[in-house]
Structure 1
Amino acid sequence: MSENRCPDCQDELSWKDGQYYCDACQHPVRKRAFCPDCDSELEKLQACGSASYFCNSCNELKSKSRVRVVFEKA
C-alpha cells in the first residue's frame, strides 16, 4: 500500500507530468522531506536508481526511514 496520500482527502496520489497529483481534489501536491534531527528541509540525491537525503544544516546523509515526509498543495 502506498504512503503517498493527499493532505486534504487522504486519497492515494497519482504521478502526472513530473509531480504528484490528487485526482479526487484536482490539484497538484508537493512532497517535502525534513531532517529528523534539526527539522531543516532535506535535499534529495538520486543516483544509480537509489535515493538518499542530505541535510545541509547537519552536513550529513540521513536515513530514508528516519526522514519526516510531508505532502502539501503545490
Structure 2
Amino acid sequence: MELKCPTCHNPLELVGTHAHCFGCDKDYPLNALCPDCHQPLEILKACGAVDYFCEHGHGLISKKRVEFVPL
C-alpha cells in the first residue's frame, strides 16, 4: 500500500513511526495496525531498530506486513 500526501498527493516516505512528504516538507503521524486483527500495534524501539508487537495474540509483526494508516 502506497501512502499519498493529503496536500500535494506525492508519495509519502515512511520514516520510523511517521511519514514524510518531500514535496511539502511535512511530517504526518501514522498508526501501525496488525495485518491480521487490524488492532493497534505496540512499537518496540531498541538499538536503533523499530519492531512491532501485537498484544492480541499475533506476536511480533514484520515491518513489511504492518498496515500504516494516517491518524
Q: What TM bracket, shorter-length normalisation?
A: 0.5 to 0.7
Aligned-pair Cα RMSD in Å: 3.0
Task: Check whether the contact 1:38–1:58 (CA below 8 A) recurs between aligned residues.
Answer: no
Q: Calculate the TM-score normalised by the size of structure 2.
A: 0.63
Gaps of 5+ in 2: none
Count how many residue pairs are aligned between Structure 1 and Structure 2: 65
The equivalent of 2:44 in structure 1 is 45
Query: Considering only CA atoms, is the larger Rg found in Structure 1 or Structure 2?
Result: 1
Could you say which structure has the greater relative contact order, defined with CA pairs below 8 angstroms and 6 or more residues apart? 1
Aligned identity (percent) is 39
Structure 2: how far apart are the matches of 1:37 and 1:59?
A: 8
Please state how far the C-alpha of 1:4 moved relative to its aligned partner: 6.2
Structure 1 unmatched ranges of 5 or more: none
